[in-house]
Amino acid sequence: MSQGRVISQTVSHKALAMLLLVGLMAGAGVSTAQELQQSVFYYRSPVPMGVEGFQQTATKKLFYLMSSAENPEFQGLKITRKFPGGSVSTPEGRHLRTYPSVLTVRVTASMIDANLFAASEPTLVADDTDLNAMLLGLRYQLKVYQALKHHILKPVSVTQIGMPTDLPADERVFRVKFDTEDIPVDARLVLEVFSPKGEKLARFHLELL
């Protein structure tokens, strides 16, 4: 795994900013008449996919997982949702038919300021693996939903960013990549995160249309 810069405790502020961006994307982008039954908004990169708080049952320790799609290709995308149909276009006006060929997802697994996300009704985790080891050993898969069918993709790479694995840390950050070539823009993508023992922890959603 490659080493990057050490992530500081300001992550909580970044997380709150991401949550605010989710709200803005959901509510501030509608720009067309209701009678046309369509909405238009624009994506910015990174695209927030969600955050969820947890409590390890055995140790009572709190932690959270946060995910975002980092692809620069998402920057400035114009999303037009309407029924039926919809479209995705670049800032230059080129219509896209597929997701980027490689989806890059950033996952933050942290105990820092975890009470911000896990203090109220956190998801309980039965896996009693040492929490530092658990965060290092998280596993990932991507479910691709198209209509009533779905298939599963495994990561092509998982790279840790920040503190070396042989040093204990309250936070781990990973860059997870999936081969998403030829996946149409109307597919719904769901990142699933598992503990080292296979316990499903979280589902983070990404969809364009």
Q: Read off the pLDDT of residues 152-184 as tens digits, 9 standing for 90 and up.
A: 999 999 999 988 999 999 999 999 999 999 999
- pTM value? 0.81
What mean pLDDT is reported for the chain? 86
- Residue 204's identity, in one-letter code, is F
> In 84-152, where does DSSP find H-type helix?
115-118, 131-136
pLDDT beyond 80 at 105 = yes
Q: CA 41, CA 21: separation in Å to the nearest integer?
A: 13
Q: What does the pLDDT read at residue 17?
A: 43
pLDDT beyond 90 at 31 = no
In the chain, the percentage of residues whose pLDDT exceeds 90 is 74
ω into residue 84 within 30 of 0, thus cis?
yes
ω into residue 46 within 30 of 0, thus cis?
yes
pLDDT beyond 80 at 16 = no
Mean pLDDT along residues 88-95:
96
Every domain of the chain and the residues it spans: 11-24+37-207
Q: CA 79, CA 44: separation in Å to the nearest integer?
A: 11
> In 94-204, where does DSSP find H-type helix?
115-118, 131-136
pLDDT beyond 90 at 34 = no
Higher pLDDT, 151 or 121: 151
Q: Write out pLDDT tens, residues 38-63.
A: 899 999 999 999 999 999 999 999 99
Q: How many CB atoms lie within 10 A of CB 22?
A: 15
pLDDT beyond 70 at 23 = no
Mean pLDDT along residues 180-202:
97
Q: What does the pLDDT read at residue 84?
A: 77
Place of tokens 């908004």: 41
Q: DSSP string spanning 93-116? A: SPEE-B--SEEEEEEEEE-TTTHH
Q: CA 44, CA 70: separation in Å to the nearest integer?
A: 10
Q: What does the pLDDT read at residue 35?
A: 42
Do 175 and 159 touch, CB atoms closer than 8 A? yes
